[in-house]
Amino acid sequence: MDHFLYRDGVLHAEDVPVPEIAAQVGTPFYCYSTATLQRHFRLFDEALDPLEHLVCFAMKSNSNQAILKTLAAMGAGMDVVSGGEYARAKSAGVPGERIVFSGVGKTAEEMRAALEGGIRQFNVESEPEMEVLNAVALSIGARAPITLRINPDVDAKTHAKIATGKSENKFGIPIARAREVYARAAALPGLEVIGIDVHIGSQLTELEPFEQAYRKVAELTAVLRADGHDIRRLDLGGGLGIPYARSNTAPPLPSEYGELIKRTVGDLGCEVEIEPGRLISGNAGIMVSSVIYVKNGEGRDFLILDGAMNDLIRPSMYDAHHDIVAVQEPEAGSEQVPFDIVGPVCESGDTFAKQRNMPVLTAGDMVAFRSAGAYGAVMSSEYNTRPLIPEVLVNGDQFSVIRARPTFDEMIARDNIPEWLL
Ligand code: LLP
């Protein structure tokens, strides 16, 4: 459920008519709903009650500081995957003890910054990383709390580019080698082994792969405890999917996911962490774009928008479907016609949808891409020297620009011309 609904014939973000925002910031832009973010965070938080738990928002899905602050105010932790994300979380006021550091390629500099600034735990993904973290911790007289990310070799049944839990993926330590690697970690004086981490992929629409993975985690907990490790925290990753198309059957609810967690690992006496990104931010955002031209091609008509693949890359990168709706509500029973919906970038891949049934639209009309709050703005680029588009946060009847569109001058001024060209 989200808070982008038609009211009085026009799409609203909570209580704000979308055209009102467009009139102030221009199109294209991202627009997020506070109430939706809060609702989704609360669903996860309540789903894990009464277990001792922390929901760490995977801020790779949306790292605007206003979003982070909104969630942190509700008690959210953050899952970060880079020094930049760590710095962003801190700058948004998230305390170090609520920040988890994930990722396969943490550098020594990133580790040091996190140890010095405060960190809940590192989710370590390989033996070389373990050795480097040990050395960094010892060099500053610290002891780094760690879990080891285990690759459970389960099929997440999702798009190949976002599946991470099979043995052929680059992520984690093969479960068959877990005992050996935990023994090595326990022998390193700069590390404190506190738990196990697992994440099998993103946009999972069934619970069964989670169930398989979490059962393996439960078994491994018993084995590692018998080996003398004090396993007291389980990080179960993110990955629960969202309905991208209204017509799809809905993926499992956070409450069902919570029940599964309690059923599989709930009686181990461990504190539980999860790292959802998409399910918190995805349906909390839309991308609003205007039609520049309606072009009649041979056998097909194109809606050429002012938004493009550089603003929302998911359709060209993952063949992802986003529902696209007209901002002015079409009258009930009005005509629908098929369009190819494209952006202005000079690549055929700059296509959002092919032969999508839409109301009859003309230049200047606005459309909204639904479910664009996760992996939208964060994956955008300035390809074709198109400025990053603004982000707006709505809260009830108020809205605020939480990232402004840069001017051409600001973009151009970032280049430096070497002396010999002056
Ligand atoms: N934890 C770890 C270790 C992850 O790698 C990810 C996502 C998450 C948590 C959050 O997963 P979520 O709950 O959002 O599914 N750009 C792609 C998605 C990449 C996901 C990468 N890892 C897309 O647009 O579909």
Domain housing 389:
4-31+282-412
Residues designated as active site: 346
- Ligand 1 atom with the shortest distance to the CA of 103: 3
CATH of residue 385's domain is 2.40.37.10
CB neighbourhood size of 420 (10 A): 5
Joined together, the tokens standing for residue 56 give 């760490």
Same domain, 408 and 334: yes
What pLDDT score was predicted for residue 375?
A: 98
Residues with CB under 6 A from ligand 1: 58, 61, 79, 102, 162, 199, 202-203, 237-239, 275-279, 314, 318, 374-375
**Which of 247, 274, 301 is at the close of a domain?**
274
ipTM (interface predicted TM): 0.99
Cis peptide before 344 (omega within 30 of 0): no
What percent of the chain is modeled with pLDDT above 70? 100
Distance CA(365)–CA(261), nearest Å, equals 46
What is the β-pairing status of strands 29-33 and 391-395?
parallel
- Residue 80 inside a domain? The answer is no
Instruction: Quote the Cα angle for 11-17-18, to 5°.
Output: 70
Distance (angstroms) between ligand 1 centre and the Cα of 151 equals 15
Distance (angstroms) between ligand 1 centre and the Cα of 275 equals 9
- Whose C-alpha lies nearest to ligand 1, atom 24? 375
- Ligand 1 atom with the shortest distance to the CA of 159: 25
Distance CA(24)–CA(212), nearest Å, equals 49
Encode pLDDT of 206-219 as tens digits: 999 999 999 999 99
Per-residue confidence at 65, pLDDT binned at 50, 70, 90? Answer: very high
Same domain, 301 and 229: no
Encode pLDDT of 3-54 as tens digits: 999 999 999 999 999 999 999 999 999 999 999 999 999 999 999 999 999 9
CATH of residue 132's domain is 3.20.20.10
DSSP 193: E
Same domain, 174 and 295: no
- Residue 333 inside a domain? The answer is yes
Residues 6+ apart with CB under 8 A from 109: 83
Residues 6+ apart with CB under 8 A from 352: 305, 307, 312, 315, 322, 324, 341, 342, 343, 369
- Whose C-alpha lies nearest to ligand 1, atom 8? 238
The amino acid at 206 = E
Query: How many structural domains does the chain have?
Result: 2
Among 60, 129, 166, 322, say which to mutate for ligand 1: greatest number of ligand atoms within 8 Å of CB.
Answer: 60
Asked whether 388 and 405 are in contact (CB, 8 A), the reply is yes
Same domain, 128 and 261: yes
Task: Give the chain's length.
Answer: 422
User: DSSP H helical segments within 122-177, as ranges?
Assistant: 127-139
- Ligand 1 atom with the shortest distance to the CA of 197: 3
Average pLDDT taken over every residue of the chain: 96
Q: pTM value?
A: 0.97
